Amino acid sequence: MTHPLRGFDLDLELSADGPVAVAGPSGAGKSTLLRAVAGLLRPRAGEIVCNGETWFGPGRNLPPERRAIGFVFQDYALFPHMTVRGNVAYGARTDADEVLRRIGIDHLAGARPGTLSGGERQRVAVARAIARRPRLLLLDEPLSALDVSTRDGVAAQLAQVLRTAGVPALIVTHSFAEAVALAPRVVIVERGRATQRGTPDELLAAPSTPFVAAFAGLNHLTGTAAGRSVALDSGGVVRLAEPASGRVSVLVAPWEITLASAPPPPSSAQNLVSGTVDHIAMVGDRARVRAAGLVAEVTADSVRRLSLRPGSPVTATWKATATRLLELDGPPPG
């Protein structure tokens, strides 16, 4: 599908073998894409084709009600006065109780949305969309209305539902972590254009732009490479496993970084940056520690053992082999 719309340009193919997540920052055009596919917004050009039927193209613009789309909105848009069964049965083209059983929420059939948790409301919204026997599922920021503490569990449940739904699904999200949790294929959009697509592992292994690297949670430090080292714009030198030259962004994954309360013995295999801890965020049994201009991901036990807290001195180290480079255009800053 191609949707040049207000500067938005994306070629995208969907199939029933797994959902596709379109991820990017606010204003990148993600929700605009969903509205165009659903027929709620008319593109200026391009084509939208589903199973050989043109929904939008030269001389044709099928209205939304004829596009057989299941749309799961950010706030789920459930009818508060109806039971779960009533919500799923509304506009259904298949047996609502069978869909409730398939989604695993048949025990909630008589409940009303106001009594449900966020994850339960989400599954009701997905069940209602699937009950319409759609040819395509659209999900707009499906985890954004959930409490942070419940997102991981709900994401796993939703991913399972989408894998077994047998319907092509398009998900948009502003979170790389959510895209990875929900879809085997991810498309990154920046300012209305797809800048990279692939599996989560492919995006992490070789981000194509500094934005993709940052969006995926990788540390990136700009500098100038010469031989097996990079002189950073912020000061200091990073060692490389392979020679390089020119303007680069140094990429290192947070989980490749080791923290210590004092500098370790010098080693040609290690890069070393010292500073103080700026912030610590606990995520389950892991901690993301921001220090010395980097983010390191370590165990909660490491935080306790090193007595890390904001203001604590810390040294971050990583191997030269864990350092990747992204070539940049332009001269170094003056």
Same domain, 131 and 161: yes
Does the pLDDT of residue 95 top 90, yes or no?
Answer: yes
pTM score of the predicted model: 0.78
Percent of all residues in the chain with a pLDDT value above 70, rounded to a whole number: 94
Locate all alpha helices (DSSP H) within the chain, ordered by sequence: 30-38, 84-89, 96-103, 118-131, 148-164, 176-182, 200-205, 210-215, 300-305
Same domain, 200 and 243: no
Same domain, 124 and 153: yes
Whether residue 15 lies inside any domain: the answer is no
**281-304 pLDDT tens trace:** 987 788 999 998 899 999 999 999
Does the pLDDT of residue 307 top 60, yes or no?
Answer: yes
Total of domains in the chain: 2
Average pLDDT, the chain: 87
Compare 11 and 265 and report the one with higher pLDDT: 265
Same domain, 204 and 224: no
**159-173 pLDDT tens trace:** 888 888 888 899 999
Same domain, 269 and 136: no
What pLDDT is stored for residue 293 in this prediction?
85
Domain end, chosen from 179, 211, 243, is at 211
Residue whose tokens read 């610590």: 280
Q: Side chain identity at 167, as an amino acid letter?
A: V
Q: Which domain holds residue 108?
A: 20-211
Same domain, 159 and 43: yes
CA distance 328 to 232: 13
Same domain, 201 and 263: no
